């Protein structure tokens, strides 16, 4: 007997609504990237690129500080309560930045925005509202919303700037955050049962083992380096594009649109090769090497419009591939009962990368010029390439989750051993306190749920 393949209407509506909330968080970060540096330079003290970088990166610092605490607090005070609080904080930060007339106030607003770190609480609520067999699908939908938001932001940012300016964009994201609270209230149902989920939430007791795992540390450094270089780049590239292309920043969408189309076209076959052909390590190595090539191209051709176009295209081909495969890779590498903790640390490393990239990019640009920014990014990519080269190839597995029947008692250790003995099972974890079984199954195996379900149902 196979598990049902379709999500229920309630699961689908809940997942799509919560994915939009997650996307909104990313929108607040990404939408201003193509045009903020140029706008900020017109403000008092904005001619110092250090403050521009700090304004871009401040969001990441407070998000890193509050992300895990928000998720843990949602266990005690309720998912929706913490999401309401986070969205309200995010909206306040957006309005502060929107009404600012100097760069220092924008920095404060951006820091407040990041403090409304609802992402962990949102994923916990998704877990409460979806059955175990659809959890992976729901999380993939949230991941897709992030990618779509990022691609649209590079195109929408310059267009919106022409209509409402950067202050208007900040105010718009604040208004959207308030509307999102209505989304949570009226479209997302209250969970019948709210409990801790190892696959989506961080557990303090598991932080030690996760932080000591060298394979996970490689991935954490990678996402840190990827987003540090990404944020540092946007301190410099908007100025360079305006100087070399002669285009007003409002028209920069015409530059980013074809680049995003090309990069997304390359992303699909790379994911297929990595996931379906079990060649994730090879795709990793090539993508990081391409990122290093992009940083070298930026450093050498930053004074040439077509040079920047080539470097941006190379950069975003690698960036989009890595953004797509890294969450999947950490799921494969993390212990099944500590996946949520591993993802929490991974997301925190990403936020810290945003902060460090903005600050270092701004300082290097102000003190040593554009080339120093790309030298910094290139050094990060070189370190990452060495790290990826020596990492263990991710196992070709997919996760399967099953509910434990209510009221039925199991010897967890014995059931885990029985499930682990099934053909194709690489890892088996039984969590009676969560009422769930998690298996990692060989992607190449012809997997049938029936044998596992028979054991689980006794």
Cα–Cα distance measured from residue 451 to residue 426, given in angstroms and rounded to the nearest whole number: 15
* Helices 253-271 and 305-333, axial angle in degrees (round to 10): 40
Task: Evaluate whether 302 touches 370 at the Cβ level (below 8 Å).
Answer: yes
Task: Evaluate whether 93 touches 380 at the Cβ level (below 8 Å).
Answer: no
Cα–Cα distance measured from residue 451 to residue 422, given in angstroms and rounded to the nearest whole number: 8
State the pLDDT at residue 102: 95
pTM as predicted: 0.93
Task: Evaluate whether 199 touches 140 at the Cβ level (below 8 Å).
Answer: no
Assigned token pair, 38? 């140029």
Question: What would you measure as the largest C-alpha separation in the chain, in angstroms?
Answer: 71
List Cβ neighbours of 1 (8 Å cut-off, separation of 6 or more).
Answer: 449, 450, 453
For 429, phi then psi, to 5°, come to: -135, 130
Task: Evaluate whether 141 touches 130 at the Cβ level (below 8 Å).
Answer: no
For 169, phi then psi, to 5°, come to: -65, -45
Cβ-based neighbour number of residue 192 at 10 Å: 7
Cα–Cα distance measured from residue 21 to residue 84, given in angstroms and rounded to the nearest whole number: 11
Cα–Cα distance measured from residue 214 to residue 209, given in angstroms and rounded to the nearest whole number: 10
Cα–Cα distance measured from residue 116 to residue 294, given in angstroms and rounded to the nearest whole number: 33
* Helices 119-129 and 49-77, axial angle in degrees (round to 10): 40
Nearest Cα residue to 361 out of 204, 188, 225: 225
pLDDT in tens, the chain (458 residues): 344 467 888 888 988 888 888 777 777 778 999 999 999 999 988 889 999 999 999 999 999 999 989 988 998 999 999 999 999 999 999 999 999 999 999 999 999 999 998 988 999 998 899 887 788 788 888 888 877 888 889 999 999 999 999 999 999 999 999 999 998 999 899 988 788 888 889 888 999 999 999 999 999 999 999 999 999 999 999 999 999 998 999 999 999 999 999 998 988 899 889 888 889 999 999 999 999 999 999 999 999 999 999 999 999 999 999 998 998 899 899 998 899 999 999 999 999 999 999 999 999 999 999 999 999 999 999 999 999 999 999 988 888 888 888 766 668 889 999 999 999 999 999 988 888 899 999 988 778 788 888 998 87
Beta bridge partners of 398: 441
Cα–Cα distance measured from residue 303 to residue 216, given in angstroms and rounded to the nearest whole number: 38
Cα–Cα distance measured from residue 325 to residue 125, given in angstroms and rounded to the nearest whole number: 24
Q: Which H, E and C letters describe the chain, residue by residue?
A: CCCCCCCCHHHHHHHHHHHHHHHHHHHHHHCCCCCHHHHHCCCCCCCCHHHHHHHHHHHHHHHHHHHHHHHHHHHHHCHHHHHHHHHHHHHHHHHHHHHCCCHHHHHHHHHHHHHCCCHHHHHHHHHHHCCHHHHHHHHHHHHHHHHHHHHHHHHHHHHHHHHHHHHHHHHHHHHHHHHHHHHHHHCCCCCCCCCCCCCCCCCHHHHHHHHHCHHHHHHHHHHHHHHHHHHHHHHHHHHHHHHHHCCCHHHCHHHHHHHHHHHHHHHHHHHHHHHHCCCHHHHHHHHHHHHHHHHHHHHHHCCCHHHHHHHHHHHHHHHHHHHHHHHHHHHHHCCHHHHHHHHHHHHHHHHHHHHHHHHHHHHHHHHHCHHHHHHHHHHHHHHHHHHHHCCCCCCCEEEEEEECCCCCCCCHHHHHHHHHCCCCEEEEEEECCCCEEEEEEECCCCCCHHHHHHHHCC
Domains and CATH numbers, the chain: 9-197 (1.20.1250.20), 206-394 (1.20.1250.20), 397-456 (3.30.70.100)
Count, residues in the chain = 458
Place of tokens 């609270």: 181
Rg of the chain, C-alpha, whole Å: 22
Task: Evaluate whether 220 touches 64 at the Cβ level (below 8 Å).
Answer: no
């Amino acid at each position: 007997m196979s598990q049902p393949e379709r999500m229920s209407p309630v699961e689908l509506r809940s997942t799509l609504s919560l994915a939009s909330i997650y996307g909104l968080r990313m929108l607040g970060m990404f939408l201003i990237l193509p045009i903020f540096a140029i706008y900020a330079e017109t403000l008092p003290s904005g001619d110092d690129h250090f403050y521009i970088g700090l304004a871009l990166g401040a969001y990441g610092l407070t998000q890193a500080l509050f992300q895990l605490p928000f998720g843990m607090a949602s266990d005690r005070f309720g998912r929706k309560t913490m999401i309401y609080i986070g969205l309200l904080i995010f909206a306040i930060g957006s309005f502060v930045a929107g009404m600012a007339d100097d760069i220092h106030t924008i920095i404060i607003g951006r820091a407040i925005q990041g403090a409304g770190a609802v992402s962990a609480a949102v994923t916990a609520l998704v877990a409460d509202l979806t059955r175990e067999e659809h959890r992976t699908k729901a999380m993939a939908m949230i991941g897709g919303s992030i990618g779509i938001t990022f691609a649209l932001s590079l195109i929408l940012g310059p267009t919106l700037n022409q209509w409402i300016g950067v202050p208007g964009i900040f105010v718009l994201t604040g208004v959207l955050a308030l509307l999102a609270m209505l989304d949570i209230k009226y479209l997302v149902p209250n969970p019948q049962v709210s409990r801790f989920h190892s696959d989506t939430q961080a557990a303090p007791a598991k932080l030690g083992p996760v932080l000591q795992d060298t394979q996970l540390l490689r991935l954490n450094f990678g996402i840190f380096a990827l987003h540090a270089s990404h944020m540092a780049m946007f301190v410099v590239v908007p100025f360079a594009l305006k100087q070399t292309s002669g285009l007003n920043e409002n028209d920069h969408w015409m530059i980013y649109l074809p680049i995003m189309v090309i990069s997304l076209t390359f992303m699909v076959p790379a994911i297929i090769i990595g996931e379906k052909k079990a060649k994730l390590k090879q795709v990793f190595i090539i993508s990081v090497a391409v990122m290093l090539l992009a940083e070298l191209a930026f450093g050498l051709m930053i004074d040439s419009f077509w040079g920047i176009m080539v470097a941006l295209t190379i950069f975003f081909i690698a960036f989009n591939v890595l953004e797509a495969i890294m969450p999947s890779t950490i799921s494969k590498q993390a212990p099944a009962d500590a996946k949520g903790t591993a993802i929490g640390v991974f997301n925190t490393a990403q936020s810290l990368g945003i902060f460090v990239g903005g600050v270092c990019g701004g300082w290097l640009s102000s003190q040593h010029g554009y080339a120093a920014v790309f030298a910094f990014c290139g050094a990060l990519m070189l370190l990452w390439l060495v790290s990826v080269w020596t990492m263990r190839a991710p196992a070709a597995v997919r996760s399967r989750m099953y509910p434990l029947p209510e009221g039925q008692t199991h010897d967890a250790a014995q059931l885990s051993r029985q499930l682990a003995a099934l053909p194709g099972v690489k890892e088996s974890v039984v969590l009676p306190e969560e009422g769930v079984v998690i298996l990692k199954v060989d992607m190449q195996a012809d997997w049938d749920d029936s044998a596992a379900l028979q054991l689980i149902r006794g």
